[in-house]
Amino acid sequence: MQNSQLPLEAMPKHIAIIMDGNGRWAKAQGKPRVFGHKNGVVAVRESISTAAKLGVKAITLFAFSSENWRRPEEEVGVLMELFITALSTEVTKLHKNNLKLRVIGDISRFSARLQKKIAKAEATTAENTGMVVNVAANYGGKWDIAQAARSVAEKVEQGELCASDISEDVLAKHMMMSDLPEVDLLIRTSGECRISNFLLWQIAYAEIYFTPTYWPDFKEESLIEAVTWFINRERRFGCTGEQIKALLEK
């Protein structure tokens, strides 16, 4: 198969990533965990750029789960400040490249300062028409399903829906990212092989790719390997990493 014959429809439309291993990466270098989180931002930037070049419609990054509040207070504080800094610096690049930023999750627990940064970043890129970059923050898959069920229940109470109207399609419309394609490819770094309460509804039919690579070391080549695996497994087109690289060079 020639590079030009690789069908674009074979590419995943929506990639989700559990960015794991920052702390262990830092520990292996004798550094504090926060050092790993800061270096993970580089991997975020590279993954977003690569996915956009490949024509992916949406990428969803698991930045902070609802369970992460259990981590040491100092680490949580650093993560929050890093989030604020990244929103300030990265949103300009996203906007310049016509990418749309969304933050999914229960942001009510964040500080007023961070909530304002999120609102400003989303507003800045709201009209962009390129790839959607979803950042899952204070997000949990069970929370997502519960908030959707609550929204549907409120409509039943208000007489907008009947209980007999409730279906998978109705519930799906109230989930986070309901306007986007369902996740085709879920990637988890660092060698852990679990979902960790991430996008439980949206990954129902996703191909799941586990890699031992720690997140700070996940580069363009790493994403190409994952996409190559996806295409050969899901679409059976027998492509190679070289063919996918050729798409980046167009």
Task: Please answer whether residues 237 and 6 qualify as being in contact, where contact means their C-beta atoms are separated by less than 8 angstroms.
Answer: yes
244/17 Cα distance (integer angstroms): 19
Kindly provide the residue ranges of all beta strands, DSSP E only, lying in the chain, ordered along the sequence: 14-18, 58-65, 100-104, 132-139, 185-188, 207-210
Instruction: Clarify whether 68 is annotated catalytic.
Output: yes
Q: How far is CA 115 from CA 33, 65, 81, in A?
A: 25, 16, 12
Instruction: Clarify whether 217 is annotated catalytic.
Output: no
Catalytic pick among 3, 22, 68, 134: 68
Task: Please answer whether residues 161 and 152 qualify as being in contact, where contact means their C-beta atoms are separated by less than 8 angstroms.
Answer: yes
Amino acid at 29: Q
Residues forming the active site: 20, 68
